[in-house]
Structure 1
Amino acid sequence: MKTYLTAEGFINFLSYTGTGLLLLLLGVLVFELTTKFSDRELIRQGNIAVALKLWGKGIGLAIVLYTVWGHSLSLFDAFIWGVIGILTQVISYWIIEYILTPKTNLAQKVEEGNVAIGVSLFGASIAVGLIVAGSLTY
C-alpha cells in the first residue's frame, strides 16, 4: 500500500515553506534598507514606481528561491543559497544604479514616481533573478 502523505513529508513541506517565506520577507526588508526612503510609505501613497521596483526584486528573489528549493541538498543548504540570492540581487541593483547608470539617480527617480524607471528596475530584477536561478542548478 502506497502512502502519499506522511508526517515527515508534511513537516518538510512546512519547514521549506516557512523558511522560503521567511527568506522572502528578509529579502524584501533588506531591499527596503538599501533605499533612503520608506518603500512602504511611498507605496501607501500610491507610488507605482516604488511598488514595481520593490516587488520586481521580490519576484526575482522568489524565482531564485524556487530554484534553490528544487536543487538543494537540505534545508540548511537551501537557506544559505537563499541568502546568497538576496545578496546577489542587492549587489546587482548597486551595479545597475552606480555603474550602468552613473548619471541617473535611479532611487531618486523612483521616489519621484518615474514609472518608466520603476518598470525598468522591475524587469532588471526579474532578469537578475532568472540568471541567478539558472546559475544555481548545479
Structure 2
Amino acid sequence: MSKKPRSIPRQQYGVVPYRISAAGEFEILLITTRETRRWMVPKGWPIKKLGPLGTGLREAFEEAGVTGDGGPAVGEFHYPKVLRSGHVQHCRVELFALRVTDEKEEWPERHERDRQWFAHHDAAAVVQEEHLQMILLDFPGRLASAS
C-alpha cells in the first residue's frame, strides 16, 4: 500500500522521441514502464554532468534504445511515482524533442520494457497522464513553435 504523497515535486527530464513517416505524419515512440506496463515517454532523474537535455537523451538510449538529434523543450507534465519504499513522490517532467535517427537492436533495458511507434494522436490516446496526452496530441505544433 502506498503512503502519503510527498508534496514537493522532484524534477525529472525526458524526451518525446519522434520521426516523420513516409506519409509525412508525426510518429511518437513510447515505452512501457517496468512495473505497471503503462505507456510512457523515456524519462528519469537528473544527471548533473549531462544537464536536462543530456539526461533525456541518455534515458532515451537506456530505456528505448534510440539515439538522434535533441531539440527544444516541448512541455512538462506531472505524475505520481510510487517509490520502492512505498512512498508516493510527486514528479515534474520537463520534455525535449528527440528526432530519432537510429534504433538499436540491443540496449540496456530491452528485457524490461516494450517499445512501439504510434501516430502522435494515437500516442496521446494510450498514455494516462492528462498533460502528457496534451503534449503528444499537440506535438507537431509545439515542435514548430519551439524551433
Above 0.5 in TM-score?
Answer: no
TM, length-normalised to structure 1: 0.29
Task: Tell which structure's C-alpha radius of gyration is larger.
Answer: 1
